[in-house]
Amino acid sequence: MAVESLVAELQRSSRGKIVMLVDNGVNGDSRVQKEARSMAAAGWDVVLLGKSPTKKDQRWQLGDAEVRLLHVPTPLHRRRHEYRRAVLRSPLAYRPGPLAAYRKQRMKAWRTELNIQLIQAGREGSALSKLKLLPPRVVSKSLNKWVKLRVKQTDALEQRRKDMKSPLDRFTTAFWLRTMGDRSWRRLDPALWDMELAYGKVIDSLKPDLIHANDFRMLGVGARAKLRSEAKGRPVKLVWDAHEFLPGIKPWNSHPRWHIAQCAYEREFSRYADSVTTVSETLADMLAEQHGLKAKPEVVLNAPDAEISPEQASEPVPDLRELCGIGPDAPLAVYSGAAATQRGLDIMVESLPQLPDMHVAFVVLKPASEYMNRLTARAAELGVADRLHILPYVPHYQVVPFLASADVGVIPIHHWPNHEIALITKFFEYSHARLPLVVSDVKTMGEMVARTGQGEVFTAEDISDYVRAVKSVLADPAKYRNVYDSAGLLEEWTWEAQAEVLDGVYARLLGGSRSKSAKSVPQVVA
């Protein structure tokens, strides 16, 4: 065993040092986990840097890859103008910070104290004591109105700064875009620097041969690390793994400058990528056109593992139906993945009164999120709360067998530009679980399901059409499951096939050859 470990270590060190970057806590990001594990198994020396959910750094092993989660302080999450007083726009507002809350609370405390003193004077029967309290009570009442006015002005100012709808706000946004171009993100969203300041020195200390930057926020971090290393005479290759089409996403942050800043940030640093990978052919074409790339990005699909390691296989897979408290004959529709309004989960709850026997399971990262609580409350209003089940994620290598006991895999996403262009992770997970699919009519997935016949397509956000699709699938599930027996349909939709593509990208950039070492790692069928 010692000799085998030494050989494996020599293989990794001889192929090159890879630093992967991601802007989340790794857990819940199956694509990044599979990239790190499979590339380490292929002989690369992999360190995956992510963002710690706490104020402490964390470390663990992911197969042969090392995971480090870094604490990312966020003092720049507020823009510079948000720290200034608005003397002309709102002269009565308190200066930004805790002062307004302090003054408001201080006035409440003073008035409460005066009220207690008045009660005590009444108990003592002292008219003089009551008379002495009259001036401070009058003053406190007047000051209370003044503080309330100023707090109201402060709250209104903070809201205006969040909305940024005034002519002055629109002018300043346009001014920075016009004068600074793609560099304008430094003014529009300086919080992007927080990632750089947390990750930068760690990347430099690792001295990578190749940096793999996942998604747009890590692109700039990776590009600057590449520039610093090359300035010291040490060349580094940069792979940008674009998970989505940034101009077409629904902004994660409601601030009107956020999306503009992220797009500028991506445009500035995309030119430093030595190679680009992405999740679909459609997105590859769009990225090549958007950024004027010299070569079309290579496609690495978000496919699940066909094989897993023996230690993973030894872990018992939770029983989906048992967790839902239902038997094998109860119809069960499942949704697994990110939970947000644009993902369309509402329709699965709203349809339950029209599907009397149907149960719905949501397998999500945060079962107690505001959105999940809202859906739970809606199910209670409709009288179907006993048929809605909200469950937490399982490890990515357990997803396929975990979902396999459901009757229908649902993807009800809404029409957003970014939703139209990819075969998303859950599409492949449902397929390997051999589930009949019910998907909304977004372009790429809708066309694929219509072509393969593995499910039904419904009009997005149309409850009656969704109910029609579900009933069609439940009426003849074997018809849809049998599609998966088609030769070659599932073989290409595996992570093992995609890992070979990624390994080829690394080998080409670093002047090596594709590795076969991953094949020697003991595997078992999932």
Same domain for 329 and 280: no
In a domain, 387, yes or no: yes
Same domain for 164 and 103: yes
Residue 5 clears pLDDT 70, i.e. is over it: no
| Phi, then psi, of 20 in degrees rounded to 5 | -95, 140
Same domain for 369 and 477: yes
In a domain, 508, yes or no: no
Same domain for 105 and 14: no
Residue 480 has a pLDDT of 95
Domain final residue, candidates 133, 156, 184: 184
Same domain for 459 and 330: yes
Residue 129 clears pLDDT 90, i.e. is over it: no
What is the signed CA dihedral for 7, 11, 14, 15, rounded to 10 degrees? Answer: 180
In a domain, 324, yes or no: yes
In a domain, 346, yes or no: yes
Residue 298, token pair as written in the block: 């290579």
Same domain for 368 and 293: no
Considering only residues 125 and 147, tell me which one the structure prediction assigns the higher pLDDT. 147
Give the H/E segment covering residue 365: none
Same domain for 418 and 338: yes
308 — pLDDT class (breaks 50, 70, 90): low
Same domain for 213 and 65: yes
Same domain for 390 and 372: yes
Collapsed DSSP state (helix, strand, coil) of residue 46: strand
Task: Tell me the residue range of the domain where 415 lies.
Answer: 314-485
DSSP assignment letter at 457: E
Terminal C-alpha separation, the chain: 26
Same domain for 223 and 91: no
Same domain for 371 and 476: yes
In a domain, 6, yes or no: yes
Residue 236, token pair as written in the block: 């580094």
Domains held by the chain: number:
3
Domain final residue, candidates 153, 184, 215: 184
Same domain for 171 and 34: no
- Helix, strand and coil content of the chain, in percent to the nearest 5, comes to 55, 15, 35
In a domain, 250, yes or no: yes
Residue 521 has a pLDDT of 38
* CA distances in angstroms from 1 to 40, 153, 406, 522, listed in the order given: 18, 70, 42, 14
CA-CA distance, 295 to 276, in Å (whole number)?
Answer: 8
In a domain, 26, yes or no: yes
Place of tokens 């002018």: 171
Question: Which among 485, 428, 68, 65 has a CA at the least distance from the CA of 280?
Answer: 428
Place of tokens 């399971």: 361
Neighbours of 519 (CB within 10 A): 10
Interval 351-367: pLDDT, tens: 999 999 999 999 999 99
CATH of the domain at 221: 3.40.50.2000
Place of tokens 């070569």: 295
Q: How many CA atoms lie within 13 A of 474 on its CB side?
A: 18
Kindly report the average pLDDT of the chain as a whole number.
88
In a domain, 493, yes or no: no
